[in-house]
Amino acid sequence: MIREQVSLKPYNTFGIDVKAAAFASFDSVDTLKALLNENNQQLPLMFLGGGSNVLFTKDVDALVLRNEIKGIQIVSETNETVHVEVGSGEEWHAFVRYTVEKGWGGIENMSLIPGSVGASPMQNIGAYGAEIKDCFVSLKAYHIESGEIHEFDAAQCHFGYRESVFKRELKGQYVIIAVTYRLTKHPQFNTAYGAIQSEIEAMGVETLSVEAISQAVMNIRRSKLPDPKVLGNAGSFFKNPVVSEEIGNQLIAQFPDAPVYPQANGMVKLAAGWLIEKAGLKGYRRGNCGVHEKQALVLVNHGGATGSEIYALSQHVLDSVEAKFGVLLEREVNIY
């Protein structure tokens, strides 16, 4: 059922109160088709999953369609691996916990990332040394123009750092319906990311397990990242910038403690949170919004902020970092 003039406040983790011209949710491809027929191309479309990576700066003059396609099913299994197909409207963290409780490895480092399963390949989500592309098998997507379901393997998704073909070349053309992941029954634990190792030690864990890693990641995230239910936010607002080796070396020469991560292609990734902190903005507050006091990469709504206010703050952050370091940050959150 399509409703008109609906507040999107409950549907975005920044908690921004804008109105959608029309709104409906769908829990199957058939419901989606019926809604598209009902709309009959009168309004442009906007698809929303968990709403955890979007900043609304104005009312949305579109039919907003919220994906609630559910379901988790094992599609194949050997002694070593399990392939699980998951409805794109499932909550990501709930799926992670399902796999951890089974003892299957692959996505435990990505515990507590907000958002839906459908968003995971869309922007190749990642955390603590793991990325979705490494356990991705395939996905099914609804092609809006033809009404056909198309299948994509990993190569066809063109995964990059927080990137995929669905954010670039095929933007707006497909709705992700289901994603299949490969999980392992004899996990290789990934604790290389410094904070995990020290948290595991602090927890007094003697035998590593996917459960222990998941708990460690949850502890770290809860200590640094604000809970959207308490303080509106959309996770990292900016991407970590990837710059030339030369610029990386210049930064190190000037600031020997700057974190730099050499990439396979010779470029170096810088920590945007560090740059923002060193630009003096960690914990900075302006009006109803601010830079999170424990992780400068996250912008927060202290209550009642408008999207434009947060956008203006993000511009101030961009300008300050550019002025101090000559590095231009890029927003990770989708701006509407």
Site residues (vs ligand EPU, CB under 6 A): 127-128, 235-236, 239-240, 259, 271, 273-274, 277, 282, 295-297, 332
Helix, strand or coil for residue 152?
Answer: strand
CA–CA separation, 44 vs 54, rounded Å?
17
CA–CA separation, 36 vs 175, rounded Å?
12
Q: Among residues 116, 138, 236, 314, which one is catalytic?
A: 236
Q: Name residue 180's beta-bridge partners.
A: 85, 138
CA–CA separation, 122 vs 204, rounded Å?
36
236 is an active site residue = yes
Helix, strand or coil for residue 112?
Answer: coil
* Strand pairing class (60-67; 45-48): parallel
Least distance in angstroms from the C-beta of 53 to ligand EPU: 7
Structure tokens at 257: 């403690």
331 is an active site residue = no
Least distance in angstroms from the C-beta of 64 to ligand EPU: 22
- DSSP-assigned states of every residue in 3-38: EEEEE-GGGSTT----EEEEEEEESSHHHHHHHHHH
Least distance in angstroms from the C-beta of 71 to ligand EPU: 26
Nearer to ligand EPU, 154 or 276 (CB): 276
Under 8 Å between Cβ of 269 and 261: yes
Nearer to ligand EPU, 82 or 290 (CB): 290
Nearer to ligand EPU, 26 or 136 (CB): 136
Least distance in angstroms from the C-beta of 229 to ligand EPU: 16
Q: Among residues 90, 108, 131, 332, which one is catalytic?
A: 332
97 is an active site residue = no
Nearer to ligand EPU, 12 or 138 (CB): 12
Least distance in angstroms from the C-beta of 113 to ligand EPU: 7
Q: Among residues 162, 164, 221, 314, which one is catalytic?
A: 162
Structure tokens at 127: 């955390």
Residues 6+ apart with CB under 8 A from 188: 105
Nearer to ligand EPU, 65 or 270 (CB): 270
Question: Which of the residues are catalytic?
Answer: 162, 236, 332
